[in-house]
């Protein structure tokens, strides 16, 4: 199965093409079909740390990549108004404090708090403190955990150049028909409007929400999760930068959803995510335009979506990657990560000798598990709220949730414990930060904390806090660091 045909470009298509062409070399013959007249969703601007691994696996120079994509650094997400409408908390990358093998740092902090210690949990996290102070630096030993805020359209362009340099063939055109093998039911070829017929052995569906191959031709099925994640629409718009770019993304709750703000080198990405049941399109646009910083640079992009996952993301000789495989709303910046996971997983299971049903089953189980775990983390932000100021938030507050999430919440509430399962994307510290930020405070702590005398506990906490403060004080301002490390020529945004 050497002939790999990728249907669709954009971030998903070119991530797949670049990774397969560079990793597999002459083993795979990669053809990508896309049409310049078909737009992409193209609002994926905020990422999470695993993208660093993806770029390194492909031997991509970080500064060159950031320059090409007008990227800035990202240390986490600032959440405004999610708990009660007037609050804010920060979900950072990296660790908080120092864990013991028997218990996380939160147990020591909770014990100290019980004894009257008043220093915030946030003070013990390097990435969080640096983000709020607008600082960034690469530290020795890769001590800084970070991601990127980037222009996904430019990232696709960057990857296209790389993929074509590694032998990928791009075909311009629209897909008119998916031709199935009459005997096996697999995909045999894609027929273009031009009349060209593209045959292949393995087909990758990167056609976005349309899912032309995996659903349109093969009817793989879709699990709708709107009852857990009711937002179903978004409006995206770009504005000029006002001031230095911050090293974090903002997620600002409103009475029917939330708004993002993502600073890049050449502009700021903005968007309003909302539930159309409680807010119509015109009102949503007015709300977004009324809460922007800087002059708008483009016309608004209106997007409708259904949160959920394709039941079979590998079906017969077709693999869905990107939006064709499902959609997690962008609250925790997981869209590009799910593309990356699917691409690398496919390469590890590449079916050169023919499709193995065992591989297919394993791929589908792992992909679906990834999406279920991300789904639960997203639901947490909506469910764990004290807001009752609008029908939207009352629905979220009162909704039934999956037992897997209920177990995680109640375990933390009762014991302060969090457990990471099966290479779960979000580690313990992510869950702790979001749960406490949303108002879920543990009633107990691990007894290991009480092993420390008061002076030992004070010394431990003071040392950790002082180390964070001292390190952050020595970091340069984020905008200046970006300009020196990977400053890009100013772009003209149409």
- Give the model confidence (pLDDT) of 76-133 as tens digits: 999 999 999 999 999 999 999 999 999 999 999 999 999 999 999 999 999 999 999 9
Ranges assigned E (strand) in 284-428: 301-304, 308-310, 314-315, 318-320, 326-327
Residue 45 near residue 235, CB atoms below 8 Å: no
Distances (CA, A) of 236 to 58, 187, 284, 288: 30, 35, 11, 9
Residue 357 near residue 238, CB atoms below 8 Å: no
| Rg (alpha carbons) of the chain, rounded to whole number | 23
Say what the pLDDT of residue 133 is. Answer: 98
- Written as six digits, the tokens of 68 are 């090409």
Residue 125 near residue 119, CB atoms below 8 Å: no
Ranges assigned E (strand) in 299-343: 301-304, 308-310, 314-315, 318-320, 326-327
Say what the pLDDT of residue 41 is. Answer: 60
The helix-helix angle for 357-383 and 403-415 (nearest 10°) equals 50
The answer to whether the Cα torsion of 151, 64, 57, 23 is positive or negative is positive
Residue 1 near residue 202, CB atoms below 8 Å: yes
Nearest alpha carbon to residue 140 among 475, 429, 465: 475
Say what the pLDDT of residue 488 is. Answer: 86
With residue 152 as reference, give the H or E element that holds it. helix 152-165
Say what the pLDDT of residue 325 is. Answer: 97
Say what the pLDDT of residue 390 is. Answer: 98
* Residues of the chain scoring pLDDT < 50: 492-494
Q: Where in the chain is the domain with CATH 3.50.50.60?
A: 3-45+151-224+310-373
The top-level CATH class assigned to 3-45+151-224+310-373 is: alpha beta
- Please give the Cα distance from 308 to 60 (Å, whole number): 32
Local structure of residue 476 (DSSP, 8 states): P
Residue 301 near residue 237, CB atoms below 8 Å: yes
Residue 416 near residue 106, CB atoms below 8 Å: yes
- Written as six digits, the tokens of 122 are 């946030």
Task: Say what the pTM is.
Answer: 0.96
Say what the pLDDT of residue 493 is. Answer: 45
Residue 194 near residue 232, CB atoms below 8 Å: no
How many other C-beta atoms are found inside a 10 Å radius of the C-beta of residue 61? Answer: 12
- Virtual torsion, Cα 344, 345, 350, 356, nearest 10 deg: -170
- Please give the Cα distance from 252 to 90 (Å, whole number): 12
Say what the pLDDT of residue 38 is. Answer: 77
């Amino acid at each position: 199965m050497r002939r790999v045909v990728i249907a669709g470009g954009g971030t998903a298509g070119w991530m797949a093409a670049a990774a397969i062409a560079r990793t597999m070399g002459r083993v795979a013959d990669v053809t990508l079909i896309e049409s310049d007249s078909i737009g992409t969703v193209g609002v994926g601007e905020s990422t999470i740390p695993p993208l660093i691994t993806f770029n390194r696996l492909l031997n991509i120079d970080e500064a060159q990549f950031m320059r090409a994509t007008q990227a800035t650094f990202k240390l986490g997400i600032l959440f405004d108004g999610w708990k009660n409408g007037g609050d804010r908390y920060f979900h950072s990358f990296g660790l908080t404090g120092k864990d013991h093998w028997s218990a996380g740092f939160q147990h020591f902090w909770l014990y100290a708090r019980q004894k009257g210690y008043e220093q915030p949990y946030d003070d013990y996290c390097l990435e969080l403190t640096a983000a709020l102070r607008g600082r960034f630096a690469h530290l020795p030993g890769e001590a800084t955990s970070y991601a990127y805020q980037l222009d996904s359209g430019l990232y696709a362009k960057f990857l296209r150049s790389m993929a074509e340099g590694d032998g990928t063939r791009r075909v311009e055109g629209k897909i008119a028909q998916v031709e199935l093998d009459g005997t096996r039911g697999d995909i045999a070829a894609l027929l273009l409007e031009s009349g060209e017929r593209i045959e292949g052995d393995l087909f990758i569906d990167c056609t976005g929400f349309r899912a032309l191959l995996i659903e349109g031709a093969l009817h793989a099925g879709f699990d709708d999760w709107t009852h857990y994640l009711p937002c179903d629409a978004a409006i995206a718009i770009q504005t000029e930068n006002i001031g230095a770019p911050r090293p974090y993304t903002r997620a600002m709750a409103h009475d029917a959803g939330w708004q993002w703000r993502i600073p890049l080198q050449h502009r700021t990405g903005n968007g309003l995510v909302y539930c159309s049941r409680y807010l119509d399109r015109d009102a949503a646009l007015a709300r977004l335009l009324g809460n922007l910083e800087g002059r708008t640079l483009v016309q608004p992009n209106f997007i409708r979506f259904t949160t959920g996952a394709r039941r079979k993301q590998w079906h017969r000789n077709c693999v869905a990657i990107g939006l064709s495989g499902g959609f997690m709303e962008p609250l925790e910046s997981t869209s590009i990560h799910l593309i990356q996971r699917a691409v690398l997983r496919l390469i590890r299971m590449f079916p050169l000798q023919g499709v193995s049903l065992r591989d297919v089953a394993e791929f589908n189980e792992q992909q679906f598990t990834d999406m279920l775990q991300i789904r639960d983390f997203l639901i947490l932000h909506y469910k764990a709220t004290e807001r009752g100021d609008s029908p939207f938030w009352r629905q979220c507050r009162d909704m039934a949730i999956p037992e897997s999430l209920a177990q995680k919440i109640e375990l933390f509430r009762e014991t302060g414990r969090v457990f990471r399962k099966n290479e779960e994307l979000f580690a313990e510290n992510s869950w702790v930060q979001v749960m406490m930020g949303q108002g879920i405070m543990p009633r107990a702590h691990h007894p290991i904390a009480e092993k420390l005398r008061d002076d030992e506990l004070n010394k431990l906490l003071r040392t950790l806090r002082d180390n964070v403060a001292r390190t952050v004080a020595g970091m340069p301002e984020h905008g200046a660091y970006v300009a020196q490390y990977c400053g890009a020529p100013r772009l003209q945004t149409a």
